[in-house]
Amino acid sequence: MFTAGPDRLEAAGALGLPQVVSLGAMEMGTFGPPDTVPERYRGRNLHRHNEHITLMRVTAEESAALGRLLARKLNASSGPVSVFIPGAGFSALSVRSGPFHDPDADAALVGALKAELRADIEVTELASDINDPFFAVAMARRLEQLHRASEARPAVSPG
């Protein structure tokens, strides 16, 4: 449910636009009401968000696969990319007291992402969670810096 499609995170990179990316809610899959959760996932760590949405905590193996997928998409970018990692939680559910708190799965995602990212893609790890205003301000400031730097570069003429 609520997928952005298979091309998510590709348009800005293909256009060479500066990107500041984080790992928001990458620790979960989304289904409809509980009876829509496929049988193979019913024994997993599920969280009923509301009557219409059931969330599932992904495993360490799935997290590593997501990290590799994210790296592959960001590595294809032709513009500057900055990745921000919220060390205290990818969502309100994965903070220390949350039902999706799983440091091993989070570490698998981050480790796979960092191992696969191009060397020129900067990674900033902050000790806050993704919903912390400090985290949001840091990302916004970095995006502003990247945009200013890209505007200062001379345009490359085709051909």
Q: Domain spans of the chain?
A: 11-26+59-149
> What's the pLDDT tens digit per position in 21-77?
999 999 999 999 999 999 999 999 999 999 999 999 999 999 999 999 999 999 999
Residue 4 confidence class, pLDDT cut points 50, 70, 90: confident
- Residues 80-102, mean pLDDT to the nearest whole number: 97
108 Cβ contact partners less than 8 Å away, ≥ 6 residues apart: 60, 61, 63, 64, 67
Give the residue among 110, 34, 118 at the shortest CA–CA distance from 75: 118
Q: What is the pTM of this model?
A: 0.91
> What's the pLDDT tens digit per position in 96-149?
999 999 999 999 999 999 999 999 999 999 999 999 999 999 999 999 999 999
CATH superfamily, region 11-26+59-149: Uncharacterised protein family UPF0261, NC domain (3.40.50.12030)
